[in-house]
Homo-oligomer: A and B are copies of this chain.
């Protein structure tokens, strides 16, 4: 009975997801000066909010679309569209998150793309865009033959998890890096664990918990959508009538 267990799990996952976004926003609002779109530190603050919302929470939601019990009934197409739409919004937020940090760096003449966090994070976003394009071309557009769809599917599923894990690693290293930058004067040293450090470290662990919950749901055999291998199940979005 996957429906009975999936519902409370989804509610819990939703709460954790909302908490991740809310706590990231609260951190930036309460301790880091709030938000703006003016090239200052207030613009940088959109970076963690957009990245956590897009590359962690919405990405996780997109990955779990086919685990919804409702998705087992009827056509797969609406769920494919929902999966692609959530991933697209996640990608657009990630792009805005990159604009926020690059604009801030430009205003303050800070070098771009030198830290391991930036390398891992940008790799995650670039691979995510490739993943989206490949998924769209293969599973939604009409020209991919069924055998290619079958061949690519396990690769798409694997890289879905792999890039998600990269996004979690980028989040952890990013929060860590930001706290070292921000809590660096004698009155509020990161090493003295002020309230902000407790708060943001806890946020980091909560992001890990969210990542684990998504992986758990993905790995649970009973929650997987049965593959019918019917023509309908393989049907792309724009296939012409034959």
List the interface of chain A (C-beta within 8 A of B). 110-111, 114-117, 119-120, 123, 154, 158, 161-162, 165-166, 168-170, 172-173, 175-177, 179-180, 190-193, 197, 200-201, 204-205, 208, 211-212, 215-216, 219
For the complex, give the distance between the alpha carbons of A169 and B124 in Å. 13
- Measured CB to CB, the closest approach of chain B to A121, in angstroms, equals 10
A115 in complex: contacting residue of B123, B166, B190, B211, CB < 8 Å? B190
Can you list 8 A-B contacts (CB < 8 A)?
Answer: A111-B193, A115-B201, A117-B173, A123-B205, A158-B215, A162-B216, A166-B208, A173-B176
A212 touches B162 (CB 8 A): yes
Within 8 Å by CB of A117, from B176, B200, B211, lies B176
Residues of B within 8 Å of A161, CB to CB, are 215, 219
Evaluate contact between A176 and B215: CB separation under 8 angstroms. Answer: no
B-chain residues with CB within 8 Å of residue A110 when the two chains form the complex:
191
Known: A115-B180, A158-B219, A193-B114. A120 touches B165 (CB 8 A): no
The 7 residue pairs across chains A and B that have the minimum distance between CB atoms: A111-B191, A173-B173, A116-B176, A169-B169, A116-B204, A169-B172, A173-B176
Contact across chains for B177 and A120 when beta carbons are under 8 A apart: no
Closest to A213 in B: B162
Shortest Cβ distance from A105 into B: residue: B191
How far is it, in angstroms, between the C-alpha of A119 and the C-alpha of B179 when the chains are bound? 14
Contacts of A158 in B (CB 8 A): 215-216, 219
**Docked-complex contact A176 and B115, CB < 8 angstroms:** yes
Partner of A116, one of B116, B172, B191: B172
* A165 and B162 in contact, given A116-B200, A205-B119, A205-B120 (Cβ under 8 angstroms): no
